[in-house]
């Protein structure tokens, strides 16, 4: 069963690093357009967020097309899944822990060249990913039976699939093969910046020192 536990320092680096990048508190962090089709959304902010009234659409770009309200409140760092399969089938295929929220039965299917659009409760666009190895973004990855992940935190600022990479078993994202042989890591997003930008140094160092102090107190207690 896929674990929901992340090492504290790794998760902290993710949160602190992303704070200097993305304008959106919730971002598209993984997708597969064919096979066990799914889209992963992650709350990259430091606070819980209520997704009631939020929605998804593809290249039709119409807010409200697919409701995401059933995700409810996302904890800081929590990832959720919108899947083509019904929720129970998707969980079984990927051996997901019960704590991973899945909305199944998505009929607004993704194509080889398509868009993923995330809208908030006001109908405003929150995040967009344009991908396609033939039309939209020539040369981008083709997520057929293998999911795509952002190659860096900076990639999450973009609106197309440039800089995204394909999953591989045992990679830094924790990818594995599911029951059908499809490769991905749905339900948990783990990515830390390899080299912090100058504006991040103080923020990242301060956060890591605070975590170190907390760990020492726990050991001493």
Domain spans in the chain, listed from the N-terminal domain onward? 23-191
Name the token pair of 98: 């019960």
CATH of 23-191, one of 2.60.300.12, 3.40.50.1100, 2.60.40.1260, 3.30.590.20: 2.60.40.1260
Q: Residue 80 and residue 155: Cα distance in Å, rounded?
A: 20
The SS3 assignment for 32 reads strand
Cβ atoms of 184 and 168 closer than 8 Å: no
For each successive 10 residues of the chain (221 residues), what is the average pLDDT? 42 42 80 96 95 98 98 97 98 95 97 96 96 84 96 90 95 96 95 46 44 45 50
Cβ atoms of 177 and 169 closer than 8 Å: yes
Instruction: Say what the pLDDT of residue 120 is.
Output: 97
Instruction: Say what the pLDDT of residue 181 is.
Output: 97
For every residue of 100-165, DSSP letters joined together read S-EE----S---SSEEEEEE-TTS-EEEEEEE-TTTTSTT----BSB-EEESSGGGGGSSBSTTEE
Instruction: Say what the pLDDT of residue 138 is.
Output: 78
Instruction: Say what the pLDDT of residue 193 is.
Output: 43
Q: Residue 135 and residue 71: Cα distance in Å, rounded?
A: 32
Name the token pair of 30: 């993984």
Instruction: Say what the pLDDT of residue 137 is.
Output: 81
* Phi, psi for residue 70 in degrees, rounded to 5: -65, -15
């Amino acid at each position: 069963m896929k674990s929901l536990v992340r090492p504290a320092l790794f998760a902290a680096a993710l949160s602190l690093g992303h704070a200097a990048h993305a304008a959106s508190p919730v971002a598209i962090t993984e997708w597969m357009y064919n096979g066990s089709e799914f889209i992963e959304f992650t709350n990259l902010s430091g606070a819980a967020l209520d997704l009631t009234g939020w929605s998804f659409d593809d290249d039709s770009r119409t807010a409200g097309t697919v409701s995401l309200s059933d995700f409810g409140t996302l904890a800081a760092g929590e990832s959720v899944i919108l899947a083509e399969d019904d929720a129970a089938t998707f969980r079984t295929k990927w051996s997901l822990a019960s704590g991973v929220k899945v909305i199944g039965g998505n009929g607004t299917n993704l194509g080889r060249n398509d868009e993923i659009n995330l809208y908030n409760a006001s109908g405003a666009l929150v995040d967009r990913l344009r991908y396609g190895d033939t039309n939209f973004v020539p040369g981008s990855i083709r997520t057929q039976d293998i999911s795509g992940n952002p190659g860096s935190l900076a990639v999450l600022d973009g609106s197309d699939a440039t800089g995204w990479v394909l999953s591989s078993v045992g990679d830094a994202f924790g990818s594995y093969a599911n029951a059908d042989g499809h490769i991905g890591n749905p339900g948990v997003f783990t990515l830390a910046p390899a080299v912090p930008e100058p504006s991040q140094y103080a923020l990242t160092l301060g956060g890591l020192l605070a975590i170190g102090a907390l760990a020492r107190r726990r050991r001493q207690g």
